[in-house]
Structure 1
């Protein structure tokens, strides 16, 4: 591919791939895109993504914001380059067979997120076309190279593992951040929220959750995310077995969610509003039903007690 084929790349993407034209150096010759991104990552690591601005990064470097704009022309480009630097590219994803490699891929991505937890706060707007993202995608697809899955299926499995690692990291990072804010520790944060949930959940309103809490699920010490990952892996294995004996269901490849111009159509919005209102009424009816059941049980209990007292 020639340089002219890349002339129309967005500035941030061109910087990530190292094909952007370098600005003419001013008197501050130690300034560079790499130094700006490094300072921005240090700031995010110390104070969170919300603390990052062109002015804040410039101040950290001892320059004016205008000095930075000669190298990185927009904050969105800076965030993209920060994510690229923080998450980077994976090391070798190894293991005996696809199962071990799938877990290794997930754990490597989880570790990358947790090393810079602000990176998971960056809004997802499609696949980020950067070298690091391409490297992670390539590694995730390679996990299934010795399986009969086609490329569509391998891409889907890679996205599933990526999404699970992202959610896992969000939960861990959120509790870690809460612990730091309160001067507590990770386990104490979990115990606090678990205790509130146990106090508020009743058997009548939430029977299954109440039963699980009473059985000790909140204090069992097990890792629900690791259990979930294991079941994902088991599901992939079961599908492979079904493919081997010819009993696998046909792949479901439905359409993507509606485009914004369709979702914002007046009639679509009106009908969806009616659906939400109907769902709200249904929830209210179920709540009223549960209240009626509680009252009926109490009346029945009182009658039984009265009959027992009179006999």
Structure 2
């Protein structure tokens, strides 16, 4: 066994963990890494991430850009520290919200709120897992929620990625709509009606039968939360997976859901059952085709009736 090599930390990571060397000289005590990050966040909150530069931050603080470089040596390090500060850490209430599912749902809501408070965080390119204290706290909270389950650490991390991925995507969409509301002076209902009208004008039943059916059903006017719905369905699947693991439905250490069919491919009853499934799937596809055709014909009849009326 060899001794592990201690990695040389990038300056930004070292600053985040508080282990970077302090500058030997610089402005008076009005300047600090914390004050620089605070000023940069103020700019990003007001004008977006694109407005953040070392010159802009220096001007806000009343110093020269060169003064900042004694504390934060690169803009990339500054953005990492801004992200670290803006995303914060999970609250104690979230970490103790109940069972594993309640805690993960609370983590989702709290993380989403951070994105909506500082939407510019969503504009930061993803270049890997940020190895900072606050990002570690979010991962630890998710893993802690699942600590009492039979899931492996890899499976727990995968579930945590489901939660954080959903919050990131939801944040991107909701922040985008919020920006449209500010720029165009529209409320949510007006934006929804505009989108519905546009899709109704562009989407035909012949070219896009299922999408047109969804439009007719009012999908773009529905005020329900699709992100919470999707997360809930995903966590239900995780719950079923955990239940299967607790019941011992495994094969040589592999989850029951990942059972290799090749192991039983020569079993007669299994082959018959698989054939029946294929035939049922074929029949289902045919039924869906008939349903789409009937829907088109029904809409055509409705259209003719409206015209004749």
* SS of structure 1 residue aligned to 2:102: helix
Match of 1:208 among 204, 207, 210: 210
1:250 counterpart residue number: 258
The 5-angstrom pairing of residues 1-311 of structure 1 reads 8-92=8-92, 93-245=95-247, 246=249, 248-250=256-258
Post-superposition CA distance 1:265-295 (Å, at most 9, x none): xxxxxxxxxxxxxxxxxxxxxxxxxxxxx9x
1:288 counterpart residue number: none
Once the 2 structures are TM-superposed, how far is the Cα of residue 74 of structure 1 from its aligned partner?
0.4
Mapped partners of 1:31, 1:236: distance in 2: 48
Once the 2 structures are TM-superposed, how far is the Cα of residue 12 of structure 1 from its aligned partner?
0.5
Once the 2 structures are TM-superposed, how far is the Cα of residue 146 of structure 1 from its aligned partner?
1.5
The number of residue pairs the alignment matches comes to 252
Mapped partners of 1:41, 1:186: distance in 2: 27
CA contact (8 A) 2:204 2:212 kept: yes
* SS of structure 2 residue aligned to 1:249: helix
Once the 2 structures are TM-superposed, how far is the Cα of residue 108 of structure 1 from its aligned partner?
1.4
Unaligned 5+ segments in structure 2 are 251-255, 261-292, 301-309
CA contact (8 A) 1:175 1:190 kept: no
Q: TM-score, normalised by structure 1?
A: 0.76
Once the 2 structures are TM-superposed, how far is the Cα of residue 63 of structure 1 from its aligned partner?
1.3
Mapped partners of 2:188, 2:59: distance in 1: 33
Deviation above 6 Å: which 4+ runs of structure 1? Answer: none
CA contact (8 A) 1:54 1:68 kept: yes
More moved, 182-191 vs 202-211: 182-191
Once the 2 structures are TM-superposed, how far is the Cα of residue 6 of structure 1 from its aligned partner?
6.7
Distance 1:168 1:27, change over 3 A: closer
Mapped partners of 2:205, 2:83: distance in 1: 45
CA contact (8 A) 2:115 2:168 kept: yes
CA contact (8 A) 2:12 2:77 kept: yes
* SS of structure 2 residue aligned to 1:118: helix
Aligned CA RMSD, in angstroms, stands at: 2.2
* SS of structure 1 residue aligned to 2:257: coil
CA contact (8 A) 1:54 1:65 kept: yes
More moved, 193-202 vs 137-146: 193-202
Once the 2 structures are TM-superposed, how far is the Cα of residue 193 of structure 1 from its aligned partner?
2.3
CA contact (8 A) 1:44 1:118 kept: yes
Mapped partners of 1:25, 1:183: distance in 2: 49
Once the 2 structures are TM-superposed, how far is the Cα of residue 132 of structure 1 from its aligned partner?
0.6
Once the 2 structures are TM-superposed, how far is the Cα of residue 120 of structure 1 from its aligned partner?
1.1
* SS of structure 2 residue aligned to 1:119: helix
CA contact (8 A) 1:23 1:70 kept: yes
Mapped partners of 1:231, 1:13: distance in 2: 36
CA contact (8 A) 1:94 1:104 kept: no
Mapped partners of 1:17, 1:82: distance in 2: 13
1:260 counterpart residue number: none
Q: TM-score, normalised by structure 2?
A: 0.77
* SS of structure 2 residue aligned to 1:39: helix
Unaligned 5+ segments in structure 1 are 253-293, 302-311
